[in-house]
Amino acid sequence: MTAFTGETVNLTCVIKSHSDWSYVWYKYTTNNPPLQTSDHYTVNGDTLTIRAADKSDADQYWCRGQRDGQPDSEFSDFIKLYVK
């Protein structure tokens, strides 16, 4: 996916096995901490919104789906974001 500097970007988590997940998003880094909600990043359902994208946002993103009361979770495929 390609975005331009300053745009709002929406990334959608796709995990096919279930529809009743809660989602945690990650940006590829050495220790891969979950993204925290801020003025820049928000999560609403299966969608990660990046506000005012800049070149530092260019990276790979993925999500983890968890089901309440269930010990299992699943990861999505990577979404590669380019920012011009």
Domains and CATH numbers, the chain: 2-83 (2.60.40.10)
Contact 10, 47 (CB under 8 A): yes
Contact 23, 46 (CB under 8 A): yes
pLDDT at residue 18 is higher than 70: no
Contact 79, 23 (CB under 8 A): no
> What is the percent of the chain where pLDDT is above 90?
61
d(CA 75, CA 84): 27
Question: How much is the pLDDT for 78?
Answer: 93
Predicted confidence band at 30 (pLDDT cuts at 50, 70, 90)? Answer: low
pLDDT at residue 17 is higher than 80: no
For the entire predicted model, the pTM comes to: 0.86
Question: How much is the pLDDT for 71?
Answer: 73
